């Protein structure tokens, strides 16, 4: 495997336009595989050895063409996290770091207005599907839920409710 310096050196021989084209091609390739945030894509371009100027130009082009959209990425992230039965606590911080207002996202509004299971009910269901055999059941359940991205408050309420009914 080559180092970042070796990759940057290989790209240094290209004209600025060629670097931008290659960076844009990399963005297309990554975005075709899965939704990308601007931050993660910039990290990938830097790791690949592209100059900051070429990365910025390629990212600008990709954003203008709606290939990269932090709002779309955040929306997908919320939907996939909820589909996996996980809590939103961790990803809300990631979305905030992208300067995306979570209140403006369709997936978040659907989640807030949804009458289907609350986060606490989802957490209890998860504990029912994955019962613990630990001596300290409370700590084990809390750890499971916190590792799945539930907030401390939701994990605590769900754990208490689960243990009260499954003792």
Tens of pLDDT along 90-144? 888 889 999 999 999 988 888 777 655 678 888 998 899 999 888 999 999 999 9
Write down the pLDDT at residue 116.
56
Write down the pLDDT at residue 68.
96
The dihedral built from the CA positions of residue 98, 99, 102 and 106, taken in this order, carries a sign that is: negative
Give the Cα separation of 139 and 13 in Å (integer): 57
Q: Binning pLDDT at 50, 70 and 90, where does residue 9 land?
A: confident
Rounded mean pLDDT of 56-85?
Answer: 92
Give the Cα separation of 106 and 111 in Å (integer): 9
Q: Please tell me the pTM assigned to this model.
A: 0.69
Element (H, E) at 118: none
């Amino acid at each position: 495997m080559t180092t970042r310096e070796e990759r940057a050196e290989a790209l240094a021989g290209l004209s600025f336009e060629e670097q931008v084209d290659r960076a844009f091609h990399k963005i297309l390739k990554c975005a075709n595989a899965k939704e990308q945030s601007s931050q993660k894509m910039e990290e990938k371009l830097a790791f690949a050895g592209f100059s900051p100027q070429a990365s910025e130009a390629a990212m600008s082009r990709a954003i203008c063409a709606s290939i990269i959209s932090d709002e779309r990425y955040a929306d997908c992230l919320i939907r996939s996290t909820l589909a996996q039965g996980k809590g939103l606590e961790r990803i809300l911080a990631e979305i905030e770091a992208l300067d995306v207002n979570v209140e403006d996202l369709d997936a978040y509004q659907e989640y807030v207005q949804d009458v289907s299971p609350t986060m606490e009910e989802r957490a209890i269901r998860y504990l029912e599907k994955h019962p613990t055999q630990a001596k300290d059941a409370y700590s084990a359940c809390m750890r499971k839920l916190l590792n799945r991205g539930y907030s401390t408050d939701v994990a605590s309420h769900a754990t208490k409710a689960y243990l009260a009914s499954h003792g």
